[in-house]
Amino acid sequence: MTVSETQKSKTQSLINDCFIQMVEDSSLSHTHIVDLIKTLGINRNTFYYYYSGKYDVAVCIFLRDLADLLLATVPSECLVNLPISDSPHSTQGLPYWTHIETGAHELDMSAFVKALGRTMRTKPRFYRMLFNPSEREFYQALESIWREAISQDLHFILGGRYMPEETKRLLVSLQAQAVNSLCWYFAYHEDDVEALCDDRINPFSNIMQEAVSRAVQEHPVNRILRRATR
């Protein structure tokens, strides 16, 4: 890493640390970039070189913490990475989802769910503030990130079988919201995380994918459509 790269990394870390402290001291809603800039003694251009706004900072910190847990617990060939972009804040290319096949049209996302739970424990107060149900803009920012991975999972589960586009949009939206709800639950029930992540007593970490796979198998819409067109 060059001197310039080291300085950039240090500056971004200072921004992140200050942001975390400000959110923990108040809330995400009451954290303002103008105050962060003043506290750090940097100019606006420096901040906006790294981030587009406070929700961008929040999402970046969360995704980096999640990536650390995924890299530590999931084989690299089972990780799904964020798309590469021109963004300078280095979340591009980081793992943020899993793709673990357990059958022809079945996936196991339990490792992802466990990583979510343990991510919430890395900064308990910070994540309770972020996943406060009143922080709708933060929730919406995350939902837009989950949607692409969820859409790809649904495509795999369907395996060429027909599903109305309206149903696909509904399932993707519901599951994106469900992932955020998991984060909220883990953030506000920290003491439950290890029990919920223990397969010996809680083999339910994959319940969302299992429900979708079972529903697709039990409702063969493509066969119904073929009969209707005869």
Burial (0-12, 13-18, 19+ Cβ within 10 Å), 208: buried
Q: Token pair for residue 95?
A: 């793992």
- The span from the CA of 29 to the CA of 31, in Å, is 6
- Tokens at residue 93, please? 């290319």
Residue ranges in the chain assigned as alpha helix (H): 3-25, 33-40, 44-50, 54-73, 110-120, 124-130, 136-158, 165-188, 193-196, 207-218, 221-228
Distance CA 147, CA 153 (A): 10
Which helix (H) or strand (E) is 107 found in, with range?
strand 106-107
Task: Note down pLDDT in tens along the chain; length 230 residues.
Answer: 554 667 778 999 999 999 999 999 999 999 999 999 999 999 999 999 999 999 999 999 999 999 999 999 999 999 999 987 655 556 778 999 999 999 889 999 999 999 999 999 999 999 999 999 999 999 999 999 999 999 999 999 999 889 999 999 999 999 999 999 999 999 999 999 988 888 877 778 899 899 989 888 887 665 555 555 55
C-alpha dist (Å) from residue 38 to 14, 15, 19, 79, 91: 13, 11, 12, 39, 25
Write down the pTM of the prediction: 0.89
Task: Report residue 134 as tokens.
Answer: 């009143």
- Angle of helix 136-158 relative to helix 54-73, nearest 10 degrees, comes to 40
